Amino acid sequence: MIDLDILKEKRGLMLMGATFATLLALTNFAWTREQRVLDVMAIVDVTGSMNARDGAEDGASRLEATRTALRQLVLDLPCGSRMGLGIFTERRTFALFAPADVCADYEAMNGAIDELDWRMAWEGDSYVARGLYDAITSAGAFKSNILFLTDGQEAPPLPASGIPDFEGKPGDVKGLIVGVGGAVKMPIPKYDDDGRETGSYAAGDVPHVNRHGLPGKGMENSIGWHPRNAPQGGDVVVGEEHLTSMRGDYLKDLASRTGMSFVDLASHRKLAEPLLSASSLRPIEIERSAAVFPASVALILAAGLFGLSLAARMNPKIKT
């Protein structure tokens, strides 16, 4: 036997509960919590070696792998974080846009990332250390952290005097250097003036030694040395600068000199976690709507009411 009075009482309570929960949800009440977010300038190396096709297992170029990683980063950063975008070539960086909200400006940001291209480079040289130092200065002007994505290949190679000094304060601008590419030396694609690939660079196409600056130790023993006319020696040097690999040890050295961190993109396809760990974060208040909880209760109670009504129709012995 079904006690109809109890059934009606349950229906009444469920109806009252559903009505109250619905009204509570309509107030759209919210709660706030503190969240730590990130401001960052992402600077991308667009020099020729970034066209080498060892950026990913599918044969993507380093620049394509960089674009993929940046698109993923925009998705993974918490709302309220801001990211700007810029490019590096020769020894300078150029900001495409200042840090903007990764959620509010998501579509525009993704569109800008998709347009990153080696044709943006205004010079063929790649002074990575000086480019990084300039990127740090640029990020500091935006009061932002720095994300520097490069394969680390200096072109021309470093002079005998070695890595240029960093004149800033290490760690004053925090951030992450990301090494892009593999450890195995790869050919560098070569393009004509119309942007058509015509092969790859040969040994005779690029300089294999940098004779600028002061001569190194023992240079007086090199072939063709002259104290005035050839202080760096005069022999013809042929090496492997026409080939490219990700210079991980060099980039780690630069990270140590500037107070930054380093990761290899091949082992860190998602950059959000190492970037957040290496950066200065700022706290913001995030408002979260709590209306979903009473709305869910109202939905469950309404479903229960519907179930009871359906059961009553199917069983004529139950009268409500």
Query: In this predicted model, which residue has the larger pLDDT, 6 or 310?
Result: 310
239 vs 48: CA distance, rounded Å: 18
Give pTM, 2 decimals: 0.78
**Average pLDDT of the residues of the chain:** 85
| DSSP assignments along 16-52, one per residue | HHHHHHHHHHHTT-EEEEEEEEEEEEEEEE-SGGGGS
CA distance 43 to 318: 71
Mind listing the pLDDT tens digit for each residue in 236-284? 566 889 999 999 999 999 999 999 999 999 999 899 999 999 999 999 8
Q: What is the mean pLDDT of residues 13-25?
A: 71
User: Is the Cβ–Cβ distance between 125 and 241 less than 8 Å?
Assistant: no
Determine the pLDDT at residue 153.
Answer: 95
Query: Does the pLDDT at position 1 exceed 50?
Result: no
> What 8-state DSSP symbol labels residue 81?
B
> Which class does domain 35-206+241-285 fall in?
alpha beta
Question: How many CB atoms sit inside 10 A of residue 292's CB?
Answer: 10
Q: What percent of the chain has pLDDT over 70?
A: 76
Tell me the mean pLDDT in the region 107-125: 93
Check residues 215 and 202 and name the one with the higher pLDDT: 202
pLDDT at residue 56, rounded to an integer: 84
Q: What is the pLDDT of residues 74-90, one digit of tens each?
A: 999 999 999 999 999 99
Show me where the domains of the chain are located. Answer: 4-29+291-314, 35-206+241-285
Q: Which of 122, 121, 100 is nearest to 111 (CA)?
A: 100
Distance CA 177, CA 151 (A): 10
Percentage of the chain lying above the pLDDT 90 cut: 57
Note the pLDDT tens digit of each residue in 132-191: 999 999 999 999 999 999 999 999 988 878 899 999 999 999 999 999 999 999 999 999
pLDDT for position 5: 54
- What is the predicted pLDDT for the residue at 311? 66
Helix H or strand E segment including 8: helix 4-26
Greater confidence, 131 or 226? 131
Cα(225)–Cα(215) distance, integer angstroms: 10
**How far apart are alpha carbons 199 and 187 in whole angstroms?**
9
- pLDDT for 204 equals 85
pLDDT value, residue 34: 79
With bands split at pLDDT 50, 70 and 90, how would you rate the model's confidence at 304? confident
What band does 217 get if pLDDT is binned at 50, 70 and 90?
Answer: low
**pLDDT score, position 94:** 96
pLDDT of residue 159: 83
pLDDT score recorded for residue 193: 84
